[in-house]
Structure 1
Amino acid sequence: MRDLPVPDPGLPDLRGPWRYLGGVARAQWRTLVWGSALGVVYMVALAAIPVALGRGLDDGFATAADGSTVVAWPSLLAWAGVLAGLVLLQAVAGTLRHRAAVSCWLQSMYRVTQHVSRHLRRAGTSVTRQVPTGEVVATVASDADKVGGAMDVVPRFAGSLAAAVAVAVYLLGTSPTLGTVVLVGMPLCVAVLALVVRPLHTRQHAQREVAGKLTTLGADTVAGLRVLRGLGGERVFADRYRARSATVRRAGEEVARVQAVLEGLQVLLPGLLTAAVVWLGARAAVGGSISAGELVAFYGLSAFLVMPLRTGVEALEKWARAHVGARKVLTVLRVDPPVLDGGADPAAGRRPGGATAPGLVDPGSGVALRPGEITAIVSADPAEAARVAARLGRTDDDTLAELDGVPVTSVPLRRLRRRVVLSEAEPALFSGRLLDTLDPWRDHTTAEVLAAVDAASAQDAVASVPGGLSGRLSERGRSLSGGQRQRLGLARALLRDPDVLLLVEPTSAVDAHTEQRVATRLRQTRAGRTTGVATASPLLLAGADRVVFLVDGRVAAEGGHEELLATVPGYRRTVTRGED
């Protein structure tokens, strides 16, 4: 039993689609070789059945001097045993070959998915700025499966190739004419079918392009659904999606037309080859150059040749589709991550014993989080404050933010994420045990988890999950209210106890009484720690050490909450929502 995915998928070869596919194949060469060996045994055993049947007829039945038929029971029973052995062998080998082929498919599909997912973690938003989101989704959902299909067909293709060679050798040895017909006819059939596979490849590529654009449009529409409803633009985007769907359908029809021609030729060409072999074999049998048993073997082999021929065409088709898929995978993998391993390592920051916490600065807005202070970021447009937090936390790689004088883009992400944590207004919760959602690294005691839950005033959220911390959370925490999900996300962020904590609207979905408790406990929990809060809540602002007010994305004023209320009219209007 093989565990998937593998711990280390290896480094992908980015020099081209065929090289990438070759790298995937090399990483699982043992399974491919084992599957191919089983494929050879299976197909050769299958091809040997009509030969054994013909020999059994020739050796088991003889014509006496008076013209009567004599049964040679020893020979007949011996060949019957050979037939039974071949049937058993091909059954066992076929089962094991199928298992190996499925293993090849799964290993390669998971390997491609791991390559993409690991690169996405390293490259972050650099990928989605260069490659549409729908393309990235399609790469995992569709292209990985295409690469898997290319590996799945290898054992069957190897067996088909070996069986075709074995059949040709047998026919040449028995009848040079028939052997020549097969040796010439098989490559000719494959060549004709390959001419059809090429335009099929082109149409599949075009279909993949428009399907990726459709996925991108769908993802963008869903992401902006709330805005679309507010603007009354649902119908416009629905019409646009309908038109794009029609384009995908037409591309699929173009693929289907060529596919239909290919399927028809896969029946017609082997049928013509079979008819030619049978006709020539019958003439040879009537002329006495071959026996009746050999005629039966020739007919069985000519019918059998349809299978390796179809497998060969299937292999060409799947490899062409895999080439398209690998090219799309490389489009994602070739996006350079903004930070490579290594790089600068800023000071460790706040630690017990008097060390100083790190300062975090966003030159684009002028916002500076002073070490050990709670800094609130306020803007008439909440999106502006959220963008500043994103740049400070480097969830947006297009940032000039600095941590202790070091650009955050030069700090390896793994190190930065240990020191700077960003918790958004709608945190992502995952299905599974609630304790694992709050402490996914499992490096805190239950008492520490409960303390973080208390600091976020999220006890009611824990109590609403049957089983508490040990209970299971539904997908995205759908069984919880928006405020409960928000506070659980805050508890998870507080539990990390980072050098710098960035919060975006952490109380936007809770009532005033709960908000007051969160504000008080946040100040107590983060005392002496660097904290930035993007919010316009008066309760949170009153507890901040310093407030910065943004106008058009730049710092226009800063000071205490009461001071800004008294001296900055725009700030007062933003915080009181226009009510004096």
Structure 2
Amino acid sequence: MAENTQLSKSDKPSLPAPEPPRRSTVRSLLRLWPYARVARWRIAGSVTAALLASGSVLLVPLVLRAIVDGPIAHHDLGALWPPAGLLLLLGLAEAGLFGIRRVIVARPLAKVESAMRGDLYAKLQRLPVSFHDRWPSGQLLSRATSDMFTMRLFLAFPLVFLIVNSLVFLTGTAMMFALDWRLGLITLLPALPLVLLTRHFEDRYSGAARRAQDQTGDLATVIEESVLGIRILKAFGRHRTMAERFKRQATELRSTELHKADMLANLWAVIVGLPEIALGLALAVGVVRVADGDLSTGTLVAFLSTALALRWPVESLGWLLAYANEAATATDRYFEVMDEPEDAPAESTTVPTEDQGIRFTGVRFRYPDAPADTPDLLTGIDLHIRRGETMALVGATGSGKTTLTALLPRLYETNGGSITLDGRDIRSIPLPRLRELVSIAFEEPTLFSASVRENVLMGRPEATEQELATALRTAQAGFVEKLPEGTATQVGEQGLSLSGGQRQRLALARAVVGRPEFLVLDDPLSALDVHTEALVERALRQVLADTTALVVAHRPSTVLLADRVAVLAEGRIVAVGTHQELLHSSAAYRELMTGQTATERSLVR
């Protein structure tokens, strides 16, 4: 199995993202305040506009009472026009204010969403590789897209109307009691059962909302893997298997969404039904009292109009609570990533400066999510690569060679021991500076959806065209000249428009373009044919002559690039020497280079 510095699948298992304990809805949503405060005045303006619009609606019943008890009761049609015009103005004011509300918050909340997405992306770049090993990419993608949209929409609409509808309900209720307190008591009969029901609904719905969002992330992972691995799926005829996996997860998501819809439908039925029953009872009592002369017709009309105006604040309660829970779980998922600890900062550790080159001293390492009963992958590495020397690192598949090279630029942190560069502990070197000093070419080259030039110059963005050309020549990447637009040619996602050997040569050019002081090459020639490999090796010798290098090797031809060779076995360096010395003194090295055990060689003889 090939080793991969980025994922190290041969060395460690991959685990799903953890699910933290659930916070209360309010506490979760309050975490949005640092972002939302920049738009606080716009949100306040939106609330004000919505309150004024809703207030105009509550004025309508008072105007209706004046019309019924005035012009209509006295059959004075001339007096009807002024209040009718007032009703028209109130309607126009409501429409205009709701339109203004949307305009006020649209742009600033788009900026809030953009800022949050930018912070999330920056955080992902700062998080250690061990974090990305644990988290499926689809989960991270869903947090940066659908969850972000959910939070923005909550700030723009549900948050505003949770405030506005609550105030409107209290104001409307006060108006109904002012009109007639007996009828007001009747309409409030459903209040207690509704409070208990919504509390129960919130507890159940939040769990279903979180489950649906996680399942959306899992589904995004399946889609991403299917697209990136489409050649493998087609080549092995496994598209039906992946389709079944997609269908299974899509069905699970559908079931969860239907369960959410079922809970919301049940809540909505009760929220709509109970107030309607109470309103019908209030109407019956009101009609009797009007007939008995205890209540004016205009007052009854105003009371019923006010009650009807409160239907939307009451009926919207279920949807607003549901969306608030959706936003709370989206916020939790966002801050799960933002709360992750980043790469450890530089420490003040120092060592004698005369110790030049790369030195590993008692280095131990195990992956953070490795089972507790398993031994360390690296149990005590002691190795010194002298300044200007090239050291080849060999070992069986899964022995930890790739992991060891990943410790040098601190893609992973050691569990013990120390690593120094020219006598300075790497933990005392700021990460940006450390990764300028150490350049690395992975066995599995990763290219981005960008031009050849942009991919190579990731190793040194300020490099000149001459340095770019030199790096491409060193990597024997002459094929670039034959591409449609030369170095400006877009290589496509993951560089799949290129062959494996071409991708590997561009990754090698990226590693050497900056002429780094320390160079790590993880079997950089594995995808090359024999002729190209020989040309690259010849050019690499010139680069290696001016740097201190650690080269992971599997073939004798790569080993011969090195001044000395280190053999890694059982988590330790078991032998160090030249190629010829180890062939005579190390059985483990002979077995790695020849592929034959001592028993097999004796049988051949």
Match 2:387 to one of 360, 371, 374: 371
* Deviation digits for residues 14-70 of structure 1 (CA, Å, limit 9, x no counterpart): 9977656424213322424422432342254245246437626844996599x8552
SS of 2:400's partner is: helix
Compute the displacement of 1:84 (Å): 4.8
Give the letter for the 2:453 counterpart: L
Match 2:464 to one of 436, 445, 448: 445
Match 1:402 to one of 413, 419, 430: 419
| 1:359 alignment partner in structure 2 | 358
Give the letter for the 2:387 counterpart: P
Matched positions, count: 556
Separation of aligned partners in 2, 1:160 and 1:64: 32
| 2:106 alignment partner in structure 1 | 99
SS of 1:415's partner is: helix
* Deviation digits for residues 533-564 of structure 1 (CA, Å, limit 9, x no counterpart): 11223333222222223344433433333554
* Deviation digits for residues 504-527 of structure 1 (CA, Å, limit 9, x no counterpart): 121111222221222122221232
Compute the displacement of 1:247 (Å): 6.9
| 1:540 alignment partner in structure 2 | 558
Assess, with a 3 A threshold, how the Cα gap between structure 1 residues 548 and 226 changes in structure 2: closer, same or farther: farther
1:384 counterpart = 2:400: yes
Structure 1 stretch displaced more, 121-130 or 305-314: 121-130
Assess, with a 3 A threshold, how the Cα gap between structure 1 residues 63 and 203 changes in structure 2: closer, same or farther: closer
Structure 1 stretch displaced more, 22-31 or 558-567: 558-567
Compute the displacement of 1:78 (Å): 3.3
Compute the displacement of 1:192 (Å): 3.0
Give the letter for the 2:534 counterpart: Q
| 1:5 alignment partner in structure 2 | none
Residue correspondence of structure 1 range 253-272 to structure 2 within 5 A: 254-272=259-277
Separation of aligned partners in 2, 1:499 and 1:346: 19
Separation of aligned partners in 2, 1:273 and 1:105: 42
Separation of aligned partners in 2, 1:226 and 1:573: 35
Give the letter for the 1:127 counterpart: F
CA contact (8 A) 1:53 1:79 kept: no
Compute the displacement of 1:409 (Å): 4.5
CA contact (8 A) 1:36 1:154 kept: no
1:127 counterpart = 2:131: yes
* Deviation digits for residues 193-237 of structure 1 (CA, Å, limit 9, x no counterpart): 2232223234445666788789899999999999999xx999999
Give the letter for the 1:458 counterpart: A
* Deviation digits for residues 156-181 of structure 1 (CA, Å, limit 9, x no counterpart): 22221232233233333333334445
CA contact (8 A) 1:273 1:302 kept: no
Separation of aligned partners in 1, 2:429 and 2:289: 80
Structure 2 stretches of 5 or more lacking a match? 1-20, 364-379
Separation of aligned partners in 2, 1:226 and 1:576: 34
1:28 counterpart = 2:32: no
CA contact (8 A) 2:57 2:94 kept: yes
Separation of aligned partners in 2, 1:534 and 1:87: 72
Compute the displacement of 1:338 (Å): 5.4
Separation of aligned partners in 2, 1:505 and 1:562: 20
CA contact (8 A) 1:40 1:158 kept: no
Separation of aligned partners in 1, 2:253 and 2:64: 56
Give the letter for the 2:382 counterpart: G
SS of 2:174's partner is: helix
1:304 counterpart = 2:309: yes
Structure-1-length-normalised TM-score: 0.77
| 2:442 alignment partner in structure 1 | 424
Compute the displacement of 1:425 (Å): 1.3
Residue correspondence of structure 1 range 270-289 to structure 2 within 5 A: 270-283=275-288, 286=291
* Deviation digits for residues 264-302 of structure 1 (CA, Å, limit 9, x no counterpart): 223323433443454455555555666656555444432
Assess, with a 3 A threshold, how the Cα gap between structure 1 residues 473 and 198 changes in structure 2: closer, same or farther: same
CA contact (8 A) 1:274 1:302 kept: yes
Give the letter for the 2:468 counterpart: V
Residue correspondence of structure 1 range 516-555 to structure 2 within 5 A: 516-555=534-573
| 1:38 alignment partner in structure 2 | 46
Structure 1 stretches of 5 or more lacking a match? 1-13, 350-354
Separation of aligned partners in 2, 1:462 and 1:357: 40
CA contact (8 A) 2:56 2:91 kept: no
CA contact (8 A) 1:461 1:488 kept: no
Separation of aligned partners in 1, 2:553 and 2:345: 33
Separation of aligned partners in 2, 1:328 and 1:184: 39
| 1:197 alignment partner in structure 2 | 202
Structure 1 stretch displaced more, 444-453 or 197-206: 197-206
Separation of aligned partners in 2, 1:57 and 1:509: 86
SS of 1:486's partner is: helix
Assess, with a 3 A threshold, how the Cα gap between structure 1 residues 284 and 481 changes in structure 2: closer, same or farther: farther
Compute the displacement of 1:530 (Å): 0.9
| 1:167 alignment partner in structure 2 | 172
Structure-2-length-normalised TM-score: 0.75
Separation of aligned partners in 1, 2:110 and 2:202: 22
| 2:163 alignment partner in structure 1 | 158
CA contact (8 A) 1:164 1:305 kept: yes
Structure 1 stretch displaced more, 537-546 or 420-429: 537-546
SS of 2:539's partner is: helix
Structure 1 stretch displaced more, 484-493 or 253-262: 253-262
| 1:352 alignment partner in structure 2 | none
* Deviation digits for residues 333-374 of structure 1 (CA, Å, limit 9, x no counterpart): 555445135544789x9xxxxx99642426434343222122
Give the letter for the 1:361 counterpart: F
Structure 1 stretch displaced more, 370-379 or 162-171: 162-171
* Deviation digits for residues 281-333 of structure 1 (CA, Å, limit 9, x no counterpart): 55555556666565554444323323222444334334434444455555555
Give the letter for the 2:39 counterpart: T
Separation of aligned partners in 1, 2:102 and 2:248: 46
Assess, with a 3 A threshold, how the Cα gap between structure 1 residues 164 and 187 changes in structure 2: closer, same or farther: farther
Residue correspondence of structure 1 range 344-355 to structure 2 within 5 A: 344=349
Compute the displacement of 1:458 (Å): 1.8
CA contact (8 A) 1:558 1:564 kept: yes
Structure 1 stretch displaced more, 404-413 or 440-449: 404-413
Separation of aligned partners in 1, 2:91 and 2:333: 48
Separation of aligned partners in 2, 1:309 and 1:346: 70
- Identity rate, percent: 23
Residue correspondence of structure 1 range 550-561 to structure 2 within 5 A: 550-561=568-579
| 2:492 alignment partner in structure 1 | 474
Separation of aligned partners in 1, 2:500 and 2:281: 73
Structure 1 stretch displaced more, 199-208 or 416-425: 199-208
CA contact (8 A) 1:366 1:555 kept: yes
